[in-house]
Structure 1
Amino acid sequence: MPLSAAPAPSAPPEASPAAVSPVLRVAPAAPAEAAAHFRASLAFHTDVSDVAAALAGGGDPGFVVVDSRSAEAWDQGHIPGAIHLPTALVPERAEALLDRSVPVVVHCWGPGCDGATRAALALAELGYRVKEMLGGFEYWVREGFAHETRQGVERRTADPLTAPAEGDACGC
């Protein structure tokens, strides 16, 4: 009995728009475009863990941390060694507090606040090289890093939803 050719595979039926995953309704970018986007993102942002590691490394971290929150928020707690420069005061006080040759890492309360974005914009428009610290002061505290208050230095236990329960690094 002669072998017959296998039937040609038929094209899959068109998926209805409702059947497409909400994640893939807009296709992912091409790898080169994605790489350019994520490289650019890292030029504009840093995170709490990287800032903490750089500050703990001893010596000059190569940047200065700027807290753009209000005086009341600063008094409630702030990153040791940070410079207090509320967003609204950036245009009038930045020159007296910051050196344009030193990159600035700016933060505000947390991911629900875009005060750091506004402060970063104001600093960039004044000629400073600036990155925004993702997570802000909220994640600094939630990840268990020391912060200063009127009562002195405090450190809370790391929130296991934001930092590893054991060990120092998340591995990312």
Structure 2
Amino acid sequence: MTTTSPQVNPVLRVPPAAPAVAAAHFSASLAFHADVSDVAAALAGARATGADPGFVLLDSRSTESWDQGHVPGAVHLPTALIAEQAERLLDKAVPVVTYCWGPGCNGATRAALALAERGFRVKEMLGGFEYWVREGFAYETWEGPGQRAADPLTAPADAEDCGC
């Protein structure tokens, strides 16, 4: 006689956290991150009304990467130069949102850490420049402005936003 052991559900192998613990975790996560779509909406809203978006967007990549493409209006400050230039270029009273290439790069995280260690309030833009472009937002290069159609795997094809 053969006995079979019950299959372990890989999703529930480690049970979900208690609701209060989960709420604390996700609340903390939102304090550290902003997504590309929210950053784009805040910047567009500020441009449309002539208001300040309430944060500075910081591109932490190299000059070569910046020239290849960056978010319009972003401040360029490579991570390696934060220690010597952040206090001169940024106001500690204004939150900073950092970005780098994309989800496969932790450059924005390193930049956010360097800024936080110097007393700046900071968030990281999830998805980085890659998802900025993939979601169809305008960008600038050393040759001028650019924009691609939104990738339907990262942004809704027939709606202004994803509704989340």
The alignment's TM-score, normalised by the length of structure 2, stands at 0.93
The amino acid of 1:118's aligned partner reads R
Post-superposition CA distance 1:111-138 (Å, at most 9, x none): 0000000000000000000000000000
Pair 1:36 & 2:43 matched: no
Gaps of 5+ in 2: none
Q: 1:100 maps to what in 2?
A: 92
Q: Secondary structure at the match of 1:39?
A: helix
Cα distance between partner residues in 2 of 1:167 and 1:30: 35
Cα distance between partner residues in 2 of 1:20 and 1:29: 18
1:22-61 equivalences under 5 Å are 22-58=10-46, 59-61=51-53
Pair 1:72 & 2:60 matched: no
Q: How far is the alpha carbon of 1:167 from its aligned partner?
A: 2.0
Q: Secondary structure at the match of 1:153?
A: strand
Q: Out of 106, 111, 121, which is 1:114 matched to?
A: 106
| Number of residue-to-residue matches in the alignment | 157
The amino acid of 1:94's aligned partner reads A
Gaps of 5+ in 1: 1-14
Post-superposition CA distance 1:41-80 (Å, at most 9, x none): 0000000000000000021110000000000000001000
Post-superposition CA distance 1:92-116 (Å, at most 9, x none): 1101110000000000000000000
RMSD: 1.1
Q: Out of 101, 120, 124, which is 1:132 matched to?
A: 124
The amino acid of 2:29's aligned partner reads S
Q: 1:153 maps to what in 2?
A: 145
Q: 2:162 maps to what in 1?
A: 170
The alignment's TM-score, normalised by the length of structure 1, stands at 0.89
Pair 1:21 & 2:6 matched: no
The amino acid of 1:117's aligned partner reads T
Q: 1:8 maps to what in 2?
A: none
Cα distance between partner residues in 2 of 1:53 and 1:99: 22
Cα distance between partner residues in 2 of 1:88 and 1:25: 41
Q: How far is the alpha carbon of 1:168 from its aligned partner?
A: 1.4
The amino acid of 1:22's aligned partner reads P
Q: How far is the alpha carbon of 1:150 from its aligned partner?
A: 1.6
